[in-house]
Amino acid sequence: MPGIVQVRLRESGAVVLFDAAGIDCKSGSCVIVEAERGVDYGYVISESELLPEGKSEAPLRKIVRLATEADLKQIEENKARTKEAIATCEKKIAERKLDMKLVDAEYSFDRTKIIFYFTAEGRVDFRDLVKDLARIFKARIELRQIGVRDEAKLFGGFGACGRELCCAKFLKDFEPVTIRMAKEQGLPLNPPKISGVCGRLMCCLSYEFETYKFLAKDLPKEGEKVNTPEGKGKVVSVDILKRKVTVEIGQGQDAKLIEMIYK
């Protein structure tokens, strides 16, 4: 039975470590958890008997219970209420002429807090908007600005690979992704081919980057001149995974290609 579990709060909240408190909650289980104020709900995404390395041993909040039928019904009712909350918030944004785009909203399990997610080009002074919403809904209001990657994570979808988006499926945090990662893996530097649905570089470019970097060690680059058993030539292609390079020797009709394996 796990002692520590990772829980994604609500549908799209943060991933937080919780003490399972002796409750047998498996990955995928919907659970009611201790929140900063009151209780909230979330979904178990992984189980462990120990704290992950490097994590603080400060007391963790606890899993209160596995979600009951009544809990699940309340969660669904909360989801239905968010439609009204979104419509009301959008109306108030328009009235106050705020330069922001509302993306989504979430109720906490006990309905004491509503989180509104929005995107904007810059900073937005939404203090008066918060007061409007708090007066209407009689709840704590949190407006959270997110980026385009967060927006893709909220809505989900499928990538060019045909699989569910990594950010929506399992990624806890967004790691930096650079164009160098695509170059190192020999991928075409064509933005539509290496960008995700969010319009940013695909997160998966980082997954094998360190492996490619290790395998490319000591390999010549395309266009580089190298010595071969048959004379000096120019590298025309590099297969990093096989550590194999193709070299062109000679020019014109006398040119020929040879392959060299680097161990």
Taking only the tens place, the pLDDT of each residue in 150-163 is 888 777 788 888 88
Write out pLDDT tens, residues 4-48: 888 888 877 778 899 988 898 888 899 999 987 788 999 998 876
How far is the first Cα of the chain from the last one, in angstroms, to the nearest whole number? Answer: 46
Do residues 60 and 21 both lie within one domain?
yes
Of 197, 199, 115, the C-alpha closest to 163 is 197
Q: Which pLDDT score is estimated for 88?
A: 96
Residue 51 has pLDDT above 70, yes or no: no
The reply to whether 219 falls in a domain is: no
Q: Which pLDDT score is estimated for 94?
A: 95
Give residue 238's domain range: 225-261
Residue 237 has pLDDT above 70, yes or no: yes
Do residues 33 and 97 both lie within one domain?
no
Do residues 140 and 80 both lie within one domain?
yes
Q: Which pLDDT score is estimated for 107?
A: 92
- Give the separation between CA 10 and CA 74, rounded to whole angstroms: 13
- Give the separation between CA 218 and CA 260, rounded to whole angstroms: 13
Which of 47, 67, 87 is the C-terminal boundary of a domain? 67
Residues 6+ apart with CB under 8 A from 64: 21, 31, 32, 33, 34, 39
Instruction: Give the chain's domain count.
Output: 4
Of 49, 45, 43, the C-alpha closest to 10 is 43
Do residues 204 and 252 both lie within one domain?
no
Q: What pTM was estimated for this model as a whole?
A: 0.66
Q: Which two tokens stand for residue 123?
A: 């900073």
Write out pLDDT tens, residues 32-42: 999 877 889 99
Tell me the CATH number at 92.
Answer: 3.30.300
Q: For 186, which DSSP code?
A: T
**Average pLDDT of 133-155?**
89
**Average pLDDT of 99-114?**
92
The reply to whether 99 falls in a domain is: yes
**Maximum mean pLDDT: which of 42-56, 77-91, 185-199, 217-231:** 77-91
Q: Which two tokens stand for residue 46?
A: 């992984």
Residue 46 burial (10 A CB sphere; 0-12, 13-18, 19+): middle
> Which three-class secondary structure state does DSSP give residue 260?
strand
DSSP H helical ranges for 33-176: 69-95, 127-137, 148-155, 166-169
- Give the separation between CA 176 and CA 185, rounded to whole angstroms: 16
Q: Average model confidence (pLDDT) for the chain?
A: 87
Of 182, 209, 212, 211, the C-alpha closest to 195 is 182
pLDDT > 90: what percent of the chain?
Answer: 36
The reply to whether 123 falls in a domain is: yes
Q: Which pLDDT score is estimated for 156?
A: 79
Do residues 79 and 141 both lie within one domain?
yes
Do residues 96 and 121 both lie within one domain?
yes
